């Protein structure tokens, strides 16, 4: 992982965008690298709210979650490979083993619907990399993504 990157929340605090590149290079396999561009929109960890006491949306695995969201959105690899990158990035950050097992197990068990929904949204023309950023902190992702001039 590179240095910490800035992320900014939309007004709903459910979606965020990157203000810096979020990069990852495997500690064990240097050939495995991911670079998330500035302006990528993410929901961070997609854990159900029922589990937020143990697995909140924002935690030590937030950067791996951004990388995982990027791979799930653009799908440059197989879904299992994206999930394995999430796991490896969490290991590289020394996330507690129990949390790695829970997060990785969750995406392996329930990630297929998100993978398919992302492919369908992309096919319909939805975009996730911003070229312009909101200047009003009351702006939600749902409002912002409807603007044609921000991608």
* Cβ within 8 Å of residue 69, ≥6 positions away: 40, 42, 43, 44, 46
In whole angstroms, what is the distance from residue 15 CA to residue 2 CA?
22
Residue 11 neighbours by CB distance under 10 Å: 16
Cα dihedral sign, 61-28-76-22: positive
pLDDT of residue 26: 85
Residue-wise pLDDT for 1-49, tens only, equals 555 678 999 999 999 999 999 999 987 776 789 999 999 999 998 877 6
Q: Which of the four pLDDT bands, split at 50, 70 and 90, describes residue 51?
A: confident
pLDDT of residue 54: 75
Q: Which pTM does this prediction carry?
A: 0.91
């Amino acid at each position: 992982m590179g240095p910490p990157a800035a992320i900014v929340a939309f007004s709903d605090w459910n979606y965020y965008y990157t203000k810096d590149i979020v990069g990852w290079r495997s500690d064990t396999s240097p050939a495995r690298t991911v670079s998330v561009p500035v302006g990528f929109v993410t929901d961070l960890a997609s854990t159900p709210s029922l589990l937020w006491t143990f697995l909140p949306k924002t935690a030590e695995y937030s950067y791996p979650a951004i990388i995982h969201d990027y791979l799930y959105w653009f799908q440059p690899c197989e879904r299992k490979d994206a999930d394995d990158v999430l796991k490896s990035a969490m290991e590289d950050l020394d996330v507690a083993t129990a949390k790695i097992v829970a997060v990785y197990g969750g995406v392996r068990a329930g990630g297929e619907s998100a993978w398919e929904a992302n492919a369908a949204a992309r096919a319909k023309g939805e975009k996730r990399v911003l070229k312009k950023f909101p200047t009003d902190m009351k702006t939600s992702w749902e409002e912002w993504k409807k603007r044609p001039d921000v991608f």
